[in-house]
Homo-oligomer: A and B are copies of this chain.
């Protein structure tokens, strides 16, 4: 039913190789021949079969994107970046959701490996051992996780955490709590590290709670804990948690930002839409997705291990933070 290269060749009065060349290495075909071929192909509705091509070139023209939870608003943004950049290079992206399960994640990689040129692995939750095992099956680019010897796209959480605490200190806060994310999350460890560093430098009391799942409900949970701890500010692992904090605080009649300041990480769309709007460390989500594909492409083309790219982050001050009350 689909037009093949042979039919085009016959119709255009050339050999199949010429048709093939007209598409893959046009500079090797005489101008007018090429035009004739392309026109004929167009007319016949010919589209090269990528599977057949891949069989011989060894490249599939596909990449994979694996995320822990597609319903976490952070990841759709990343995926949009991945997908947009892939489309520009005529690459297609296989989507997979590991459901926050490291084991499922590792299985997905193995099974996907055969039909992709590489995989963008977002916020991998795998253990070091699983990681070592997965590396090697196919070209992997990590997003939001640093892995020794593997290319990755990172974000400057140390800087972001510093900005968050500087902001809080400028407002007079001295006692804050950090609501942790998943224990398996590299970003959580990194954000915590940044917070600790800054807290020590600034002489701020930093209490760490958790780990918690990166979801709204954890914030609801954590808010009560923070309240009991008597702090004046809460830094959440991500915006989803922070939103949960906001809701719980409102329910308990604690005015934000008057009685408690709240900061998140991510800057998901909803962060700007709540009342009060959320102060948060904004992350370049789409850009990270695009960059991850670039890194992958670079790796495939030149084989150079570009190592780790780190993207800047910046605090967006909205309405959920204010000077500490006397």
Q: Which residues of A contact B (CB under 8 A)?
A: 2, 47, 49-52, 54-55, 60, 62, 65, 70-71, 73, 75-77, 79-80, 83-84, 87, 92-97, 111-115, 216, 243-244, 247, 250-251, 269-270, 273-275
Contacts and interface: CB of A to CB of B under 8 A. Distances in A.
Nearest to A93: B95
A240 to B, nearest CB: 9
A71 B80 contact: yes
A257 to B, nearest CB: 15
Contact of A83 (B92, B97, B115, B250): B97
Contacts of A76: 70-71, 73, 75-76
A47 B92 CA distance: 21
Given A52-B55, A71-B73, A274-B274, A216 B95 contact: no
Given A50-B115, A54-B51, A77-B71, A243 B95 contact: no
Contacts of A77: 71
Copies of this chain held together in the complex: 2
A97 B47 CA distance: 22
Contacts of A115: 50-51, 92
Contacts of A52: 51, 55
A261 B130 CA distance: 51
18 contacts: A50-B114, A50-B115, A51-B115, A52-B55, A65-B95, A70-B83, A71-B73, A73-B76, A87-B96, A93-B96, A94-B94, A94-B95, A216-B273, A243-B270, A244-B273, A247-B273, A247-B275, A275-B275
B112 A92 contact: yes
Nearest to A220: B273
Contacts of A112: 92
A319 to B, nearest CB: 11
A83 B75 CA distance: 15
A47 B107 CA distance: 13
A79 B114 CA distance: 23
In the A-B complex, the 7 residue pairs with the smallest Cβ-Cβ separation, listed nearest first, are: A95-B95, A51-B51, A70-B76, A71-B76, A250-B275, A92-B94, A51-B54
Nearest to A65: B95
A129 to B, nearest CB: 18
B47 A51 contact: no
Contacts of A269: 71, 216
A80 B73 contact: no
A158 B65 CA distance: 37
A49 B95 contact: no
Given A115-B51, A270-B270, A273-B244, A79 B92 contact: no
A75 to B, nearest CB: 8
A134 to B, nearest CB: 14
A79 B79 CA distance: 12
A115 B115 CA distance: 12
A65 to B, nearest CB: 7
A247 to B, nearest CB: 6
A244 B272 CA distance: 11
Contacts of A79: 70, 95, 97
B97 A80 contact: yes
